[in-house]
Amino acid sequence: MTRRVIVFDTTLRDGEQAPGNSLSVEEKVRLARQLEVLGVDVIEAGFPASSDTDFRSVQEIAAQVRRPVIAALARCTDRDIDLAGEAIRGAARSRIHVFLSTSDLHLKAKLRMTREEAVERIRESVRRAKSFTDDVEWSAEDASRTGLDFLCRCVEVAISEGATTINLPDTVGYATPEEYGAMFREVRRRVPAAAGVVLSAHCHDDLGLAVANSLAAISAGAGQVECTINGIGERAGNAALEEIVMAGRVRASQYAFDTGIESRELYRTSQMLSHLTGAFPQANKAIVGRNAFAHEAGIHQHGVLQNGLTYEIIEPDTVGIARSSLVLGRHSGRHALARRFQELGYDLEDEQLGGIYLAFLQLAERKRQILDEDLLALLHESFHDAPEEFQLRELRVVCGSGTATADVTLAGPYAGTRNASGTGDGPIAAAFAAVSEIVGKTIEVESLSLRSVTPGRDSVGQVFLQVRVDGRTFSAHSASTDIVEASARAMINALNKSRHAESLEAAALDSNSYWGV
């Protein structure tokens, strides 16, 4: 019989906490809305005690995303639990997720705590979390390297205090599928009360086994699986949601479980995350990679043309990859554009379509054929999560042989119209120097990556940037057929975000924000 497994998405917490994936509050809310459309059951929206941004993100998601359970992570401390409780207060359905390491290695080296102290801490923290919500998840961090007797004792205590979900993570990605499945079976056998709660799997991919381990746990009775879109997360990442879901669907007779995921939303969700973070999955990534459905070898192409099943175990549209039926160009009208977006799964509001159409026409002046990837770049470019205090009015660069000069004009309500020149050892550095001169701030570039959206000499270049302004990191992106212009625009987007963050913080201080009190 097919079991329904709960999908607990931790893209916004475990995924986002990995270096390079940081998102603004607005971006997290946008992604959370898409996760709701995707059909996840639980969204772990953040770790409120870790930063003001995380606190506000959880609060906003709780207020705006109403169908899934909204979970907030907390260590086993009063402050963490209280902040988590406060952040999820407005949710339609809320959960506090408390965790404590249980392996001897972590207890000794990290927490400097005895086993007895750990048991007491679990007891008190689950009890405290229960005072905020009935739905409490307790995690035994490093469960897979914890002695089974002690692990079972901790699980018993957490359940006796009212935990409704017990998560047994393979925190360091060390377990094998056989070991990980066996741990779930043993906990179920030795802890009779475990029959009344949901057991959960949470796997990291250090040995490339996260998905295999998650599937083994499900086969051993886990009722919840914790995972991230594209498998993003600490170090080698977490188990990839799309792989677990599609393994369950495609090999239903083998695994006998299903989820509430709408698989046609998988590609869209993956693309949204990639455009937000700049981290695109490798081309051969299962389900959502650029080449996941490409057939290069002639013998394969021939087979697929005769019958898709010869070399394709999943139809691309099952995961939301639309086969291109239309190539757009300079003469394409607004209707054709709207129709192609619809085929790609995006129903755009009139106003958004109008803005994208203008950008489309500008792009069509520079590029003969506009492909789906270009349209996605235009779409993701069209979201402005911060007011456009600065806008690029003009950019001129002169460069060659290791020196460059840029002349930049910015306009906008904050800057008025201002112009400055900058120099650098290349055109991008010179443009950045000019922007920095205009805004009067030192801007440190932490990372800049460039991606060609499609093949060909007239390709759109997408620039992803992380900059440090006034001691804080902001990420932003932009796209253009001219990569110097795309870099300057990305820099300006980052500055707009930093201005927006400043004004939000000032407003929060005025209203005496709970965080930090």
Q: What gap in Å lies between CA 428 and CA 450, rounded to an integer?
A: 12
Stretch that binds ligand KIV, among 164-172, 182-190, 370-378, 402-410 (CB under 6 A): 164-172
DSSP string computed for 384-401: -SS--SSEEEEEEEEEET
- Beta carbon of residue 166, minimum distance to ligand KIV (angstroms, whole number): 11
Site for ligand KIV in 366-405 (CB under 6 A): none
Quote the tokens at residue 254: 């083998």
Closest CA to 126 of 154, 103, 94: 154
Residue closest to Zn ion, measured at CB: 14
Q: Identify what 139 binds: Zn ion, ligand KIV, none; CB under 5 to 8 Å per kind.
A: ligand KIV
Give the nearest distance from C-beta 438 to Zn ion in angstroms: 42
Q: Does 177 bind ligand KIV (CB under 6 A)?
A: no
Rounded CA gap, 23 and 467, in Å? 13
Reduce the DSSP state of residue 167 to 3 states and report it.
strand
Region of 9-17, 53-61, 69-77, 439-447 interacting with Zn ion (CB under 5 A): 9-17
- Measured from the CB atom, the residue of 125 and 167 that comes closer to ligand KIV is 167
Residues 6+ apart with CB under 8 A from 1: 256
**Rounded to the nearest 10 degrees, how much is the dihedral formed by the CA atoms of 73, 78, 84, 88?**
140
Query: Which residue's CB is nearer to ligand KIV, number 19 or number 413?
Result: 19
C-alpha 155/C-alpha 147 separation (Å) is 12
**Residue 54 sits in the site that holds ligand KIV (CB under 6 A):** no
Question: Toward ligand KIV, which CB reaches closer, 173 or 181?
Answer: 173
Q: Which residue, 172 or 288, is less far from ligand KIV as judged by CB?
A: 172
Question: Whole-number minimum distance, CB 206 to Zn ion, in Å?
Answer: 11
Binding of residue 21 to ligand KIV (CB under 6 A): no
Phi and psi, residue 241, nearest 5°? -55, -50
Task: Write down the residue that tokens 């079976």 correspond to.
Answer: 185
Report if residue 169 touches ligand KIV, rule: CB under 6 A.
yes
Count of residues that bind ligand KIV according to CB under 6 A = 9
Identify the residue among 5, 6, 12, 14 touching Zn ion (CB under 5 A): 14
Spell out where 34-122 has E strands.
42-46, 69-75, 94-101
Which CB, 231 or 412, lies closer to Zn ion?
231
Residue 153's binding partner, choosing from Zn ion, ligand KIV, none, with beta-carbon cut-off 5 to 8 A by kind? none
Tokens of 269: 């969700």
Per-residue contact string for residues 322-361; x = within reach of ligand KIV by CB under 6 A: ----------------------------------------
User: For residues 407 and 396, is the Cβ–Cβ distance under 8 A?
Assistant: yes
Q: Which range in 11-19, 113-121, 287-295, 315-323 contacts Zn ion by CB under 5 A?
A: 11-19
Under the binding rule (CB under 6 A), the answer on residue 17 touching ligand KIV is no
Beta strand segments in 328-402, E: 391-400
Cβ proximity to ligand KIV, 121 vs 204, nearer residue:
204
Q: How far apart are the first and last CA of the chain?
A: 51
Which residue, 133 or 481, has its beta carbon nearer to ligand KIV?
Answer: 133
> Does residue 202 interact with ligand KIV by CB under 6 A?
yes
Question: Which amino acid is located at 179 in the chain?
Answer: E
The CA distance from 102 to 143, in Å, is 6
| 141 sits near ligand KIV (criterion: CB under 6 A) | yes
Closest CB 169 distance from ligand KIV, rounded Å:
3
User: Considering beta carbons, is residue 177 or 412 the nearer one to ligand KIV?
Assistant: 177
CB of 142 to ligand KIV, least distance (A): 7
The tokens for 305 are 């043309």
Residues 391, 408 contacting (CB under 8 angstroms): no
Provide the strand spans (E) within 10-118: 42-46, 69-75, 94-101
* The entry of Zn ion, ligand KIV, none that residue 205 binds, CB within 5 to 8 Å by partner kind: none
Q: Give backbone dihedrals phi and psi of 347, rounded to 5 degrees, phi first.
A: -95, 100
- Residues 368, 402: Cα–Cα separation, whole Å: 32
How far, in Å, CA of 361 to CA of 435, rounded?
27
Give whichever of 14 and 265 is closer to Zn ion, judged by the CB atom: 14
Q: Which does 141 bind (CB under 5 to 8 A by kind): ligand KIV, Zn ion, none?
A: ligand KIV
**In contact, 72 and 95? CB cutoff 8 Å:** yes
CB of 167 to ligand KIV, least distance (A): 6
User: Which residue number, 14 or 373, has a Cβ lying nearer to Zn ion?
Assistant: 14
> Which amino acid, 370?
I
Q: Indicate which of ligand KIV, Zn ion, none lies near residue 487 (CB less than 5 to 8 Å, by partner kind).
A: none
* Tokens (6 digits) for 386: 């911060």
The DSSP code sequence of 398-444 is EEETTEEEEEEEEEETTTEEEEEEEEESSHHHHHHHHHHHHHT--EE
Please state the closest distance from residue 218 (CB atom) to ligand KIV, in A. Answer: 17
Nearer to ligand KIV, 100 or 246 (CB): 100
Place of tokens 């971006």: 27
141 vs 381 by CB, closer to ligand KIV: 141
Question: Total number of residues binding Zn ion (CB under 5 A)?
Answer: 1
Q: What are the residues binding Zn ion (CB under 5 A)?
A: 14
Residues forming contacts to ligand KIV in the complex (CB under 6 A) are 14, 99, 139, 141, 167, 169, 171, 202, 204
